[in-house]
Amino acid sequence: MLLKESEIREIVRCVLQEELTYKPIDDAIPSDEEWWNALKNLALKRLYRKLAITVGPIVASILILPPAEYEVDFSKVPGPLADRASALYNELFAGLNNKNLAIAIIANAEAESNIRANNNGDAGDYANSHPNKAIDTSRYPRRFVHPERGLSCAFGIFQYNICAGLGIDLLDYYLPDGGTDAQKVDILTDWDQQVEFMIKHVKEMGVDTNDPRTVPEWTEWFMKEVENPQNQSDEKVAERQAIAAKYMVQIEVEEVLEPEEEEVEEDIEPEEEEP
């Protein structure tokens, strides 16, 4: 498991706050690897206890120790969303042949658009600052989820940004000679073209489909390298990783990292009230 900077900081914090003792047997001295593994396990347990409070024990287990083998499951989400997630997974897996990456992309798509091909966003001030590139969705009230937002820059399953992002490449690919807003709307609401282009784009990034990265690792990668949202904090990454966990029927890792009841309460810090 690759440790992130935040996890390393947590290990250091654990060393400072916990009394770690080692009782040698037959004068044996632990190796650096054994000592490091002990510290890592302590940090993982503490991280698990904190995550279990907010996202539940099963999701927390997947985020901390994602299973090598799992089944894809769409039963934990509402029917229409499950249908869209299942359809997207099948196309992504067929195109990329990487189950972990496909689940990670689905999680990001849910966070971006609820997996709606006709969703529109990045409206308001942002769109108003790009009047020559944004599209006035109020002119197409039956085509978009939120036509009341008017000028918008982000569209579709992956919220392709047509004002200053990947959406420009999407439109150039299908409309190399440019096009009218109506022609652009056809693409920006079309499921098949959006998915086809994303698979092509990921492949062109040189992604190794045999890369053994876990679902949480792929989720963070896709969020930062492809979606590139403005807020890329650890909290936002964790939110998308938690979405991905919903689609995984995992092994019973929670039995290995079972939180101690009395310690869970100690890890809860009261929020400061605003003055």
Lowest mean pLDDT among 68-72, 76-80, 130-134, 212-216: 68-72
- Rounded average pLDDT over 140-169: 97
Q: Which two tokens stand for residue 247?
A: 């689609």
- Rounded average pLDDT over 198-207: 95
Asked whether the predicted pLDDT for residue 103 surpasses 90, the reply is yes
Q: What is the pTM of this model?
A: 0.70
Determine the Cα–Cα distance for residues 31 and 21; give it in Å rounded to an integer.
15
Q: How confident is the model at residue 202 (pLDDT cuts 50, 70, 90)?
A: very high
Domain ranges (residues) in the chain:
5-67+252-266, 75-116+190-249, 118-173
pLDDT at 32: 54
| Predicted confidence (pLDDT) per residue in 2-43, tens digit | 445 565 555 555 554 554 444 444 444 445 565 555 555 555
Q: Which residues of 215-249 are buried (b: 16+ CB within 10 A; e: fewer)?
A: bbbbbbbbbeebbeeeeeeeeebbbbbbbbbbbbe
Asked whether the predicted pLDDT for residue 109 surpasses 50, the reply is yes
Helix (H, G, I), strand (E, B) or coil at 10: helix
CB atoms within 10 A of CB 259: 19
pLDDT at 76: 81
pLDDT at 199: 97
Residues for the chain: how many in total?
A: 275
What are the φ and ψ backbone dihedral angles of 151, each rounded to 5 degrees? -55, 125
Q: What is the CA radius of gyration of the chain?
A: 22
pLDDT at 24: 42
Q: Tell me the pLDDT of the chain averaged across its residues.
A: 79
Contact 251, 69 (CB under 8 A): yes
Lowest mean pLDDT among 11-20, 80-89, 225-234: 11-20
